[in-house]
Amino acid sequence: MAKKKKKGEIAKKRFKARQKIKKKRTLRLVKSSPKLKPKIIHRPGLPRMGAPEGFRSISMSQAMMEYAKPLMKYVEDDENGLNVAMQISTVLWNYSISVEDGNEDKKLQKEILKALRKAFGLDKDETHILFTKMIERYSYLFPQDIQPEPGLPFMFIRKEVRHLIKPFDYKKLALSNEIIPPDQKDRDVTGKIEQLDKNIYDRTEYGKYEDLFISLKNECQDLFEK
């Protein structure tokens, strides 16, 4: 009985020893594993993406919105109208890319023309004009030869609007050094200012002073705008 008890105690000690060794190994593995550091990729903003002269950088979603602008005037200014315009625009966008790659599909073209007529209520001629305009618009806004490398999340779009501010021609100004004479309204206001000063010196009751002051204030505003 004593021998069995002694063997049991030895087995317990050995089990505890094995557990300690196992725990140490686990701790050692955790400590020795390398820490994963987050990678930070520095990327400049879209305006600094190196767009060629006459173009600007734009995200893919913004590019789609810009491309779809001619379709917006055919739909209601609400969420449903926007969805219709964007759906048709996406189809035209993809078809324009196929045309540029030399894969013009006449069957698909007929389906797109049918969708345009149904969505925007156009006649046959109007539909063909809009279709041609949108195909040409893609090539005009996003020329293939100047686009960034495939896989980048932005495009180069042509600047459609240019603002040219010409220098002001100061020769058109006819400056005068003569004093502009006061008219009757100017003289009336001047008289009221003098009367207001007199009311202050005479300590006129406030109600009378306030009425004159408000009247004078409104007239001064009108003359100042003039």
Joined tokens for residue 172: 């058109």
150 with 193, same domain?
A: no
Q: What is the pLDDT of residues 93-147, one digit of tens each?
A: 999 999 988 888 889 999 999 999 998 989 999 999 999 999 999 999 999 888 8
Residue 25 included in any domain? no
Contact present, 183 and 192 (Cβ < 8 Å): no
Q: Which has the minimum average pLDDT: 83-87, 137-141, 215-219?
A: 215-219
Residue 132 included in any domain? yes
> Would you tell me how many other CB atoms lie within 10 Å of the CB of residue 22?
10
Q: What is the pLDDT of residues 149-188, one digit of tens each?
A: 877 788 899 987 665 677 888 888 888 788 888 888 888 8
84: nearest Cα among 93, 94, 74? 74
* Predicted pLDDT of residue 63: 92
Measured distance CA(154)–CA(220) in Å, rounded: 56
80 with 150, same domain?
A: yes
Q: What is the pLDDT of residues 189-214, one digit of tens each?
A: 888 889 888 888 888 888 888 888 88
107 with 196, same domain?
A: no
Residue 127 included in any domain? yes
Measured distance CA(162)–CA(53) in Å, rounded: 12
Q: What is the pLDDT of residues 7-66, one digit of tens each?
A: 556 666 666 666 665 555 554 544 445 555 555 555 555 445 578 888 888 888 899 999
* Predicted pLDDT of residue 27: 46
Half-sphere exposure of 79 (CA within 13 A, CB side): 0
* Predicted pLDDT of residue 87: 92
* Predicted pLDDT of residue 10: 63
Question: Average pLDDT of 74-85?
Answer: 84
Residue 193 included in any domain? yes
118 with 56, same domain?
A: yes
203 with 148, same domain?
A: no
- DSSP element (H, E) containing 92: helix 79-100
Residue 106 included in any domain? yes
List C-alpha distances in Å: 49 to 61, 150, 157: 16, 14, 12
119 with 187, same domain?
A: no
64: nearest Cα among 126, 137, 162, 149? 137
Question: Average pLDDT of 76-99?
Answer: 89
189 with 103, same domain?
A: no
103 with 204, same domain?
A: no
Decide: pTM greater than 0.95: no
The domain tally of the chain equals 2
* Predicted pLDDT of residue 184: 87
189 with 85, same domain?
A: no
Residue 38 included in any domain? no
* Domain boundaries, position 204: 182-225
